[in-house]
Structures are given as C-alpha cells and as structure tokens.
C-alpha cells in the first residue's frame, strides 16, 4: 500500500486523513457554527453516522462534520470558510450514489443540500421550473403534474435522488432514449465556488453566452462547486403511453429486434432489455406476467394518442415477429402497464432479495451486444459466479448484476474483480466505464482503461480551474496517484 493511504474493508484505497485538519476539528466545527444556526451543523458522532456512506455501501467513514445549509448565501459562507481552512468538502444530495460519489473522508465536511428542496418558480409558458438543488427528481414532476407536465430524466431512484445529485452525475433513466439525459434537460444552475462566489451559469434562455460551462458542470461529480439552484426544462406529457413485452428464444434475436425497430424510423420512449435470470428473479417478486421461458425480453414503450399507440405497437409487433419473437404481450390497461414497469423498476430490489449483488454500469455500442453478452457470460463463469442483466437496450447502457454471497469473503473480492473485468470488456467493445452512475470512488482506478495520461491530465487541469486547492470531492473520479500534491498553482 502506498504511503499516505488507508484501505477500506474492500481494498479501495483512500487518502490518509490530514492530521492537521483532524487536530483542528473543534475549531472548524466552531467556525461552521458561527456561520449557520446550531441545528444545521452536525457534529455528534451519532448524528454523523447517517452520513458515513451512500448507496455504495462497501466503504464507510465518519466525516469531520456535516452542515445542512438552507440558503445559497449559507453555502457560500461555508465554502469560503472551508476553503480558507483548506478543509476538503463533500457535496451531498440524497446519498443514493451507487459509485460512492457522496462518500465522506475523516478530514472532510459534508455539505448536504437536503434542506434546500423548494420549487422557486414555475413557468409553463416557457416550460421551465426553477428549483432548489435538494428537491427530489420526482418532486419536480410532482410540482408540475397538475398542468400535465413532467421532468423527463427518470433514474430508478427518482423518488429519493435530488436534482443536484442528478446534475453531478448526469443521471439518466429508462425514458432517456427519447428525452435525453440530465444534460439535455437543464438550462441553468446557480453554482457556488470554493471562493464563495455565486455564479449563475445559463438561465432560462436556450443559449447562454460564452463557453458551455453548464455542459461541464453537469457530470462533474461535485468537483467544481456546489449547485444550489437549477433551471430545468419541463415537458408536456404525451396524450398516453403504453408498453409491450416481447420474449425471445435468443439474446441475438432481441438485439436484432432493437436495431430493426430503430431502422424502421420508430424511436420508442423506452426499450429495456432483461435476460433470463433477471426475468426469473423479477417475476418471482413483481408477478408482472414476464415470459419465464424467454432467454431475453424487451419492454418497449411508445407514446401518443390511443390510435397512434395502437399503430406503433402493431408495427413493432410485426418487426418483433420477423425477428423471431416468441411471446408478444401488449398492455391493455393502466394496471398492466404499471405491473410491467413495476417489474423493471424493482429489478435491483428483487435481486437483492435472492442474493447479494454488485450492480455494474457500463455502456457499449448496441451492435456489440451479442459479443459482449457472450464474453460476459464467460467472464462471470470463469469466476464461478452468476450474472443477471438489465439493460437500457436503446442506448447501450448495461447493468449487469453480479451475484455473490456476502458471507463468503472470497466471493465479494471475486465479484468485484469480475465486475471490473466486465467494465474493461465494455471499453474494449468501444463503450465506456459508466453510463449513468458516475465514476465516484468505485471506478476511479479504472479510469486509465478509458483515458491515457494526457487525457487525464487535461481533465485534471480543468478541475484545477474550478478548484485550485483540490478540495472538492477530492478522492473521487481520478486515480489517487494523479492527485496533484501540495498547494497548486492555478491551471496555467
């Protein structure tokens, strides 16, 4: 183990905490308490416990302290103070990150946005909503549903995850095939820098002047500043939407079917793929009527008027039959539609009931699907494990769930190694390490699989333009040995 690092229980190295900061803990807490009302500063061990991990539970660490600001000005004051004290900062939304994006460090202060969860303005004419950063993804849709509008990107965690977390991770969901991901649906953010500057980037117009700073803030994993507000695009919902299920005897048939649908000029709102094991696990839990005899299944949803939906689903059915579909089931009621989606959306939860698993998140060119599925099967069998595949088939975002037994210490390690091999395979196939969960700490050390040193250095210089002292979410995204040491000059 290199000097100055500690290991989690799973072998993920973390930078050793700065003893100087630990020694100043009381002073730092006092400083924060001078800036925020007492109940917004969390210092006791008991209360800090809630922040020691996120949905990437492999690693736990109590933070130095937690603050829960309620205004942009409070965030600015806190960051200015922590910057002056050279204390690392961990921005946090709802803590649903699956890549450890919100994991703390012993010498870091967590800045949680959960209290800033209001809708500030709705504009149905311009189709925008101005919201605070801590509002949940579903909360935005909820606030505009009465006018028939919604916020499009729909991560499965949408009930809990915050818009700021979505912005940091550029989150996506099942319906992103048609509507794009977070970056395609945000018009502006209010960003607080470490110096305590409050920047309005973008706004309510479609174009902002200057460089596309919004484009890089989105997906920056909390490393450029803290987002306190966002202007999001809201869309009018289609007249109706309906899914259908198609079961296939072979994964290749399903893959071909996806290509044929798109080739015919139809872009469904969602095309989700599940393999046999995923179908079996999910059906046992949700009883959605999934075809248990299928090697692979697609859920295809289209939108429009009743007539338009009928017509599109007929066309898709014809294509699916040509591709050798075995089962075709078009939803005929709201209840059936809900059941179909319930199955898909509970795939992770259902899997968790039968086994422990790690959820990988790579993307591949969809044309490589058959090759990747075959190779993945070999990799997983090579480790003596099983894998269930849930997959956004329209856009190539794979979610292999590698099953293992948590009580078997060796298996956990094997599962992790296996997951990494799968991600390497994705990169090899022309895809990437993560399609929506982010790099966080989980995939940090795989970054060299996708980027060379020059490319990583370019990204690091960009971070330094925002964060010259490397304080914002410092142990994430980049391999630890690439972190600049000591006090750094600005980017030039």
Ligand X SMILES: Cc1cc2nc3c(=O)[nH]c(=O)nc-3n(C[C@H](O)[C@H](O)[C@H](O)COP(=O)(O)OP(=O)(O)OC[C@H]3O[C@@H](n4cnc5c(N)ncnc54)[C@H](O)[C@@H]3O)c2cc1C
| Helix pair angle (276-286, 347-354), 10° resolution | 90
| Of residues 95-134, those binding other proteins (CB under 8 A) | 123-128
**Count of residues interacting with other proteins (CB under 8 A):** 96
Measured between alpha carbons, how far is 144 from 468 in angstroms, rounded to an integer? 39
Regarding 314 and contact with other proteins (CB under 8 A), the answer is no
The single residue among 58, 119, 447, 482 that binds other proteins, judged by CB under 8 A, is: 447
Map residue 349 onto helix, strand or coil: helix
| Closest distance of CB 2 from other proteins, Å | 22
Nearer to other proteins, 88 or 153 (CB): 153
| Closest distance of CB 183 from other proteins, Å | 7
Give helix then strand counts, H and E, for the chain: 17, 21
Nearer to other proteins, 113 or 214 (CB): 214
The single residue among 150, 247, 473, 474 that binds ligand X, judged by CB under 6 A, is: 473
Burial, 58: exposed, middle or buried (Cβ in 10 Å; 0-12, 13-18, 19+)? middle
Nearest residue to 299 (alpha-carbon basis) of 272, 277, 317: 272
CA distances, 426 to each of 54, 122, 361, 411 (Å): 25, 41, 10, 22
Site map for ligand X, 116-145, x if CB under 6 A?
A: -----------------x------------
Measured between alpha carbons, how far is 212 from 202 in angstroms, rounded to an integer? 8
Q: Which partner from the list other proteins, ligand X, none does 366 bind, CB cut-off 5 to 8 Å by kind?
A: other proteins
Measured between alpha carbons, how far is 139 from 119 in angstroms, rounded to an integer? 9
Site map for ligand X, 5-44, x if CB under 6 A?
A: ----------------------------------------
Regarding 382 and contact with other proteins (CB under 8 A), the answer is no
The single residue among 13, 63, 69, 172 that binds ligand X, judged by CB under 6 A, is: 172
Measured between alpha carbons, how far is 296 from 292 in angstroms, rounded to an integer? 9
Regarding 141 and contact with other proteins (CB under 8 A), the answer is no
Measured between alpha carbons, how far is 397 from 391 in angstroms, rounded to an integer? 6
Regarding 113 and contact with ligand X (CB under 6 A), the answer is yes
Give the single-character DSSP code of 273.
E
Regarding 226 and contact with ligand X (CB under 6 A), the answer is yes
Q: Which partner from the list other proteins, ligand X, none does 96 bind, CB cut-off 5 to 8 Å by kind?
A: ligand X
| Of residues 363-402, those binding ligand X (CB under 6 A) | none
Measured from the Cβ of residue 417, the count of other Cβ atoms closer than 10 Å reads 14
The single residue among 129, 140, 433, 472 that binds other proteins, judged by CB under 8 A, is: 433
CA atoms within 13 A on the CB side of 138: 8
The single residue among 293, 408, 455, 481 that binds other proteins, judged by CB under 8 A, is: 455
Nearer to ligand X, 72 or 337 (CB): 72
Listed ranges 89-97, 208-216, 266-274, 335-343: which one lies at the site for ligand X (CB under 6 A): 89-97
- Write b or e for each residue in 183-215: b if 16 or more Cβ atoms lie within 10 A of its Cβ, otherwise e: bebbbbbbbbbbebeeeebbbeeeebeeeebbe
Nearer to other proteins, 291 or 431 (CB): 431
Regarding 166 and contact with other proteins (CB under 8 A), the answer is no
Measured between alpha carbons, how far is 43 from 20 in angstroms, rounded to an integer? 18
Residues 6 or more apart from 2 whose CB is under 8 A from it?
Answer: 13, 480, 481
Q: Which partner from the list other proteins, ligand X, none does 33 bind, CB cut-off 5 to 8 Å by kind?
A: none
Nearer to ligand X, 275 or 361 (CB): 361
CA distances, 151 to each of 115, 126, 137 (Å): 21, 14, 8
Q: Kindly list the residues in this chain that would bind ligand X in the complex (CB under 6 A).
A: 54-55, 90-98, 101-102, 113, 133, 155-157, 161-162, 164-166, 168-169, 171-173, 221-222, 226-227, 348, 436-438, 473
């Amino acid at each position: 183990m290199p000097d100055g690092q500690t290991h989690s229980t799973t072998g993920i190295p973390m930078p050793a905490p700065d003893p100087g900061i630990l020694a100043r803990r009381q002073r730092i807490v006092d400083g924060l308490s001078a800036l925020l009302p007492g109940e917004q500063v969390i210092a006791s061990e008991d209360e800090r416990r809630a922040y020691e991990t996120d949905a990437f539970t492999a690693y736990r660490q109590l933070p130095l302290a937690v603050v829960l600001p309620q205004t942009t000005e409070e965030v600015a004051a806190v960051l200015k103070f922590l910057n002056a004290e050279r204390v690392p900062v961990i921005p946090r939304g709802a803590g649903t990150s699956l890549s450890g994006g919100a994991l703390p460090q012993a010498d870091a202060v967590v800045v949680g946005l959960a209290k800033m969860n209001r809708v500030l303005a709705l504009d149905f004419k311009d189709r925008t909503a101005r919201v605070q950063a801590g509002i949940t993804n579903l909360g935005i849709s909820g606030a505009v549903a009465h006018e028939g509008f919604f916020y499009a990107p729909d991560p499965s965690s949408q009930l809990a995850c915050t818009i700021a977390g979505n912005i940091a991770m550029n989150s996506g969901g099942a319906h992103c095939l048609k509507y794009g991901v977070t970056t395609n649906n945000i018009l502006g953010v209010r960003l607080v820098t470490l110096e305590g500057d409050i920047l309005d980037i973008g706004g309510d117009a479609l174009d902002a002047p200057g460089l596309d700073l919004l484009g890089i803030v989105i997906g920056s994993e909390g490393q450029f500043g803290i987002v306190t507000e966002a202007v999001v695009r809201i869309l009018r919902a289609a007249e109706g939407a309906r899914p259908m299920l198609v079961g296939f005897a072979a994964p290749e048939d399903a893959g071909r079917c996806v290509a044929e649908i798109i080739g015919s000029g139809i872009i469904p709102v969602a095309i989700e793929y599940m393999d046999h094991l995923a179908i079996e696990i999910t059906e046992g839990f949700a009883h959605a009527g999934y075809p248990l005899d299928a090697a692979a299944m697609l859920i295809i949803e289209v939108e429009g008027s009743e007539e338009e939906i009928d017509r599109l689903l007929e066309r898709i059915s014809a294509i699916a039959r040509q591709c050798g579909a075995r089962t075709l089931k078009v939803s005929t009621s709201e209840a059936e539609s809900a059941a179909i989606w319930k199955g898909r959306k509970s795939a992770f939860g259902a899997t968790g009931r039968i086994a422990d698993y790690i959820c990988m998140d790579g993307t591949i060119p969809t044309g490589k699907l058959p090759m990747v599925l075959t190779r993945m099967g070999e990799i997983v069998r090579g480790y003596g494990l099983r894998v269930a595949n849930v997959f956004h088939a329209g856009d190539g975002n794979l979610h292999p769930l590698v099953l293992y037994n948590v009580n078997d210490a060796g298996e956990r390690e094997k599962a992790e190694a296996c997951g990494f091999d799968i991600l390497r395979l994705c990169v090899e196939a022309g895809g990437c390490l993560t399609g929506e969960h982010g790099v966080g700490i989980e995939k940090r050390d795989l970054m060299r699989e996708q980027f060379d040193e020059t490319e990583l250095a370019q990204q690091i210089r960009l971070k330094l333009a925002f964060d010259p002292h490397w304080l914002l979410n410092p142990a994430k995204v980049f391999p630890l040995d690439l972190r600049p040491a000591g006090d750094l000059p600005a980017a030039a």
